[in-house]
Structure formats: C-alpha cells, structure tokens
Amino acid sequence: MSDRMQRLDDQLCFALYAASRAMTAAYGPLLDELDLTYPQYLVMLVLWEHDGERVSKIGERLHLDSATLTPLLKRLEARELIERRRSSEDERVVEVFLTAAGKRLQRKAADIPRCMLEKSALSVAELGKLRAQVQALTERLRGTSD
C-alpha cells in the first residue's frame, strides 16, 4: 500500500464523516427554530411521509436500533408531537402517530429543504446525483445492492 493511501485527506471515509458533521451543523440553526434535534427531525420526516408507521419500520428507515430510537420517540411524545399506540390488530406492534402539533410542525419545517439546497450551493441535478452515489455506496457497504 502506498503512503498516499494512508493519508487522512485521501480517505473517503473521512470526507464522508466531515461532510456528515458539516451537514448536521448546517441544519442546526434551522432545527433550533423548531426545537428539534437532527435525529428527531429525521423521525418527523418519516412520520410526515407515513403517519402511523410502526416503530420497527421507523428504525429500518433510519438505520437505528430500538435502544437509540426509543428515547427519541419518548422525547417527541413528551413534547406532544407524536403518540405511540399498540396496534389493534397485534398488540406486540407499536405504531407512531402525529399529533395535531406534529402536523403543524410540518408546515413550519417546509422551507428547510430549500434552505439546505441554498447552503449547499449545488444545483438540484448535482444534489440528486450526489445523493444517488452516496445511497449506492451505502447499499454496497451494507451488502444490500444487487
């Protein structure tokens, strides 16, 4: 292995790590206005897309285990943004529903994607291409690509 391959700045993992931290920090001021953390925002995005989602499905979508997801849900529930309920069809299943406040929050968050696009200084096409590349890499590393 060449010395060049062991340089920090030549590591894709570090570039992705630094980009992830920068992205989360860029969301900070926007999410502060909503009084949400970045992980809470991701949970809300899932629910705004599909209200009444099972806890297990939320975990799958966000790649979070229950030990990480459960405290997030409890905090959102304490803020009365969501409500967790046992399924009437199978009491082992817990479903998560938006409250009226959680639904109102969606309207307040509606401008966040546009603000983040502007912060990135990427075109919509560039952003889409980058997202697709990162998603493909993620699938390969998880062993889920065809």
What one-character-per-residue DSSP string does 38-96 give? HHHHHHHHHHHHSTTEEHHHHHHHHT--HHHHHHHHHHHHHTTSEEEEE-SS-TT-EEE
Per-residue pLDDT, 5: 75
How many angstroms separate the CA atoms of 142 and 12, rounded?
16
Per-residue pLDDT, 4: 72
Largest Cα span, the chain? 60
**Is the whole model's pTM more than 0.85, yes or no?**
yes
Instruction: Between 77 and 146, name the one with better pLDDT.
Output: 77
CATH of the domain at 41: 1.10.10.10
Percent of the residues in the chain that have a pLDDT greater than 90, as a whole number = 89
Per-residue pLDDT, 144: 76
Same domain, yes or no: 57 and 29: no
How many angstroms separate the CA atoms of 146 and 110, rounded?
34
Same domain, yes or no: 85 and 53: yes
pLDDT, average across residues 103-125: 96
Same domain, yes or no: 89 and 123: no
pLDDT over 70 (residue 1): no
For 111, phi then psi, to 5°, come to -90, -10
Amino acid letter at 51? D
pLDDT, average across residues 108-112: 97
Range of the domain at 27: 1-33+111-146
Same domain, yes or no: 97 and 52: yes
Q: How confident is the model at residue 31 (pLDDT cuts 50, 70, 90)?
A: very high
Q: How many helices, marked H, and strands, marked E, lie in the chain?
A: 7, 3
Same domain, yes or no: 103 and 39: yes
pLDDT, average across residues 67-81: 97
Per-residue pLDDT, 23: 96
Per-residue pLDDT, 6: 85
Same domain, yes or no: 83 and 96: yes
